[in-house]
Structure 1
Amino acid sequence: MDLHYGDILLPLNLPPERLLGVIRPAAPAAPEEPETIIGAALDHCAALISSFKAGERVVIVTSDITRYTGSDIYLPLLVERLVAAGIRERDMEILVALGIHRKQTEHEHKKIAGPLHGRIPIIDHDCDNPGELAFIGRTANGIDVTVNRRVVEADRVILTGTIGFHYFAGFGGGRKSILPGVAARATCMASHFAVLNPGEGTGKNPLAVTGNLEGNPVHGAMVEACAMVEPDFILNTVLSPDKRIMAAFAGHWREAHEEGCRYYAERFAWPLQEKADLVVVSCGGFPKDINVIQSHKAMEYGSQALKEGGVMVLLAQCRDGYGNATFFDWFRFRELAPFEARLRSHYEINGQTAYSLLQKAQKFRIILVSDLPPEEVRTMGMTHARTLDEAMAQATELLPADYTAYVIPEGGTVLPVATNK
């Protein structure tokens, strides 16, 4: 079996008698051409799009390069519909929902916008520029919602992106294009702080988990913020493991998103009968393993199939390093209690992800196949390996002779869910 690592494939040598199964999503191949799928979704919004008027300013929010969404396919089709409704291209802008991520390069803008590049302005959101931000309200839990001024001043706002699992917001897509996508840094931090239970040392809220929206406090904050913006509609894709558009959902920003989340969960949750001693996980290659923050998703999902104290071999190239300059700094805390205390007093989204990673590094034994420096991997509580073969040799030394294993070729996509709860 070959597993993705960056842009290449690495062969996995695993004794077949040790294998409990290969964990893959039940998602079928895309039944139609992506243009047909997007067109059908936009047909649901035909009446709404026809209400757009010439001269109105339209802002289309889309994801950055760390999340491939099919934007190079759906953005031109969306713009075509808007032009047919009378909106001039010069009255449109594409706003990249960076959240607190880095700015995009010109090459990355071209990949995001596809054939629209050079025709429609594409602007990166800047969470730290007060001149580009506007306060629009306060949530029920007291979060000040400040977002990109472009979505506040636009006549029409359209949210685009892709739906997938998220390890504490439940699912990506939909409302997440606003918060954290185009929100101020302080707003992002405050909303994500809801992942922690009230009270020192009480840890993470049990409802802020992968695949759950009901009662999820982080999702709740995102929904309130999105309602303040009142987007005209969303267009969200669902991608197959090979990154083809297999479904699309368009319509009301909340209803269409929830419909897409149900569709996704039915196809990308894997029923788990028993846990294993070893889990070999690939993030799915570039861009899912572009950095540590993105690769953490595969680590989180894959850990659901692993016995406590078991071994995980994670393939994550991390060509872009950590994904944020402050992420690695959090690992000056080697124990969870002082880490959590600092996180509560000086909350950062990157710190939350780092805390979650350290939790797993202490609960399991994680061997990371990566381009990262070995000493930095050790600082994060993991073992470094240069190759998959080296990682498997290290894992074998840690495992019992009769160990059991799962292989997860697309770890950033599929969620193992225990069926014997």
Structure 2
Amino acid sequence: MTDTLTETNPETLIAELGARARAASNRLAQMDSAAKAAALRSAARALRAAEAEILEANAEDMKAAEARGLSGALLDRLKLDPKRFEGMVAGVEAIAGLDDPVGGVISEDKRPNGLVLRRVRVPIGVIGIIYESRPNVTADAGALCVMSGNAAVLRGGSEAVHSNRAIREAMAEGLEAAGVPGDAVQLVPTQDRAAVGAMLKADGVIDLIVPRGGKSLVARVQQDARVPVLAHLDGMNHTYVDAKADPAMAKEIAVNAKMRRTGICGAMETLLIDSKFADPKPILSALVEAGCALRGDADAQALDAHVEPATDEDWDTEYLDAVLAVKRVDGVDGAMEHIARHSSHHTDAIVTEDAATAEKFLNGVDSAIVMWNASSQFADGGEFGLGAEIGISTGRLHARGPVALEGLTTYKWIVHGTGQTRP
């Protein structure tokens, strides 16, 4: 299939992939939950059987990425080791164990004329996912689409081309062994950027585009798409340490939120500290000891000699690296004002022992995820009990926050009558 498709122009290529995906999604829509779950467990077995080949392919990608001078954050996103590989496969199995939203009744009403109306969840159809760096997205997105009755057309980044191909090939083999068309999870077989443009204009071929990547990718998708887009913007995430925060908790959360994995979208990028918080120095010292570079306002610089002066740009930068902006603010109102100006509406957190202050923050901050006394690194579909995620939506329509099975469905009205006619 790949050889034939790579010889066509981008529009023809995407049209053919889309037609195959549409046929597969029609098959999936007729399958029950048990059959889809069995197919995903079969895909997980096929992935484990291909572990050596997949890790070898990833090593090839890593070598090429290092030669190209990719940043440490991007290399971390790209890397698969045995532990991450097992986590990826376990994620596929976890999705197989989740409740299938398809067929679920959202609402039911009986009209005075006797008509019974139900809103029932149905698959969206063909989902196009455009993503960068992280090869685990190939497995996560493919599995989520299959379980929700959709077919996936995946376009990964060039830096992960060998990893993505190996993962997709194993998944397709496992799906086919269980009676699901391999075309349910397809990978665009070219790195030609024109293929992305063709996906964005494939209205009627692709039903929904999900971009997962940096600002430039998401901006291009939103600007050029003729297909509905589920936006996953950058993670300009804040943690606010309130005057009444527990000092030990605040230090532990701040270090974890920034340094557990700096290259993920849930990483903290700005630390806000109440000017009345009595013990800020140990937080900054712990971050420095963990290897984090700090950039702050004058008040933050006065706390620790390691804090370099921040520029206006720092408050709007998603570093995805061991760099953190630090600012002192006047209470929760000052924190919320700063977040309103600089947040990407992804994930913002407060650390405090004052419940009233926490509620004010949770209700007043307009982000897809708001947290109280927890690390922003929990902004992840797996941690939310969703098995995995296809992305974190920062928009306000359809789905918001981690998008998993339910977010990949729409609904239709089913009307039962007994011969009613409209007067």
Give the TM-score, by structure 1 length.
0.31
Max Rg structure: 2
Bigger share in strand: 1
